[in-house]
Amino acid sequence: MKKRFLLLLFLFLLVGCEEQVNENCQSTSNGRGKVLSVLPLGTISSSYLSNFLNDNNIDIGVRPENDVKIYSIVYETIDWDGIVRQASGAIYVPDIEEKIEFPLYSGQHGTESKRSNVASIIPLRAFDAMFMASIGYIGSSPDLLGLGVSDDVVHPYVHKFVAEAVVDKIRAVKNFLCDKGINENGQLFIAGYSEGGYVAMATHQLIEQKYADEFQVTASAPMAGPYDMSFSSKRILSINSYPQPGYISFTYMSYNTIENLNRPASDLFQNPYAERIPDLMDGSKSIGEANSYLTNVIKDLFSEKFLTEFLGNGETELKESFEKNSLLDWKPKAPIKLFHGNNDDEVNYNNSVIAYDNLKNNGADIELITIDGGSHSGSIFQSYSQALDWFNTLKEE
């Protein structure tokens, strides 16, 4: 879309000077969420955002009312070994002079393997957080560990640990708001699509199970995510072809490191793909670029031995890892709405059906909104439109 590229170019021209951080607003004693740097990226007008939606015939459930100030921040988090790491992300603030209290919206991006394709560098990557800021939310978009400035660690792709850096980003946002003298109203809305759907649900679960004394989720809207990693992995390996082999490669890199599997790619994949995967997933290439070096044919991508064992009684360690990182065995306190197209060939619709059934049985206040006939890419805006409209019914004025 031409307008999209014009907006990106416009944003790049707005980069300002790095701001000093007020140490009195670093609220976490252990350093997690500590803001290390803040870089203003300029202001986008509400009229520009409205024109963008109109010109591209996009409906995401909001009509921009306010100009939006954009900031890129770097903050502290930890990895799965407890090692302190730097992470980055973007913050979107309504440009409103009157003193009011804002709810916080945390939007999680979809699958991205190229470290530079993130909101802290390209603010439109978090279009949802930007547009939510235009109607009176503080918008937050974490790049996530392993992306953005976080170039010294693997990305926890579809792994529960990914949520820890999201929580630290929320802490960083609160510290940032303190520094700016901006008030929040205590509400926290969480959403995301595709990988972001998984991250949204994992974050909701993590907050309620581990950080409930610090945060309270108001509502979450996970969309088109692989919530049941056991089901997802078995299904993908059971079909003839899969359109996103880069997703599979990214999952291997994540689990191999975080779960300490310590297995060479050749244990799972056939050559020449086994030889290519580590370099394809080193942060220099997008999933689309990686796909061009791989194959969609499952029996050609994976070794026959691995497929036989995984679909049989073998590969128990890997299967246990997928089961451990599925998001089904908990009882949410805050309401959830799941959104998913039932013709999704990338993240199968049954992920949401299984999640709905399990969480409903656990006592959740949950609803599954089905996008009839919707593909993975074709259901994005319809899902966001309904999700953000729902959040607005819960927003405190």
Question: For 281-338, how does the pLDDT look when each residue is reduced to its tens digit (9 = 90+)?
Answer: 999 999 999 999 999 999 999 999 999 999 999 999 999 999 999 999 999 999 999 9
Same fold, 2-227+328-394 and 229-324: no
Could you state, in order of their start, the residue ranges of all structural domains in the chain? 2-227+328-394, 229-324
Q: State residue 28's pLDDT score.
A: 66
Please tell me the predicted confidence (pLDDT) of residue 22: 61
Residue 377 pLDDT level (bands cut at 50, 70, 90)? very high
Q: Look at the alpha carbons of 384, 387, 392, 395 in this order and tell me if their dihedral is positive or negative.
A: negative
pLDDT of residue 59: 85
Cα–Cα nearest to 216, from 193, 194, 184, 248: 184
* Distance separating alpha carbons of residues 373 and 380, to the nearest angstrom: 13
Helix, strand, coil percent content, the chain, rounded in steps of 5: 40, 20, 40
Span 365-388, mean pLDDT?
96
Q: Is the pLDDT of residue 3 over 50?
A: no
Helix (H, G, I), strand (E, B) or coil at 312: coil
233-267 pLDDT tens trace: 999 999 999 999 999 999 999 999 999 999 999 99
**What is d(CA 118, CA 108) in angstroms, rounded to the nearest whole number?**
11
pLDDT at 56: 86
Domain boundaries 229-324, corresponding CATH code: 1.10.260.160
Residue 273 pLDDT > 80, yes or no?
yes
What are the pLDDT digits (tens) for 5-19?
444 444 444 455 666
Section 268-275 average pLDDT: 97
Q: What is the mean pLDDT of residues 105-120?
A: 97
Mean of pLDDT over the chain? 93
pLDDT of residue 31 exceeding 90 = no
Each residue's pLDDT tens digit, 340-357: 999 999 999 999 999 999
CB 40 within 8 A of CB 68: no
What pLDDT was estimated at residue 60?
A: 85
Residue 21's pLDDT is what?
A: 61
Q: So what's the pLDDT on residue 30?
A: 76
- Hey, which CATH number is domain 2-227+328-394, 3.30.1360.20, 3.40.50.740, 2.170.8.10, 3.40.50.1820? 3.40.50.1820
Is the pLDDT reported for residue 41 higher than 50? yes
Could you tell me which residues come within 8 angstroms of residue 7 by beta carbon, excluding any fewer than 6 positions away?
44, 48, 52, 124
Pairing of strands 183-193, 336-341: unpaired
Entry pTM:
0.94
**pLDDT the model gives residue 13:** 45
Asked whether the predicted pLDDT for residue 84 surpasses 80, the reply is: yes
Judge whether residue 197 has pLDDT over 50. Answer: yes
Predicted confidence (pLDDT) per residue in 147-169, tens digit: 999 999 999 999 999 999 999 99
Compare 140 and 7 and report the one with higher pLDDT.
Answer: 140
pLDDT (tens digit, 9 = 90+) per residue, 181-194? 999 999 999 999 99
What per-residue confidence (pLDDT) applies to 268?
Answer: 97
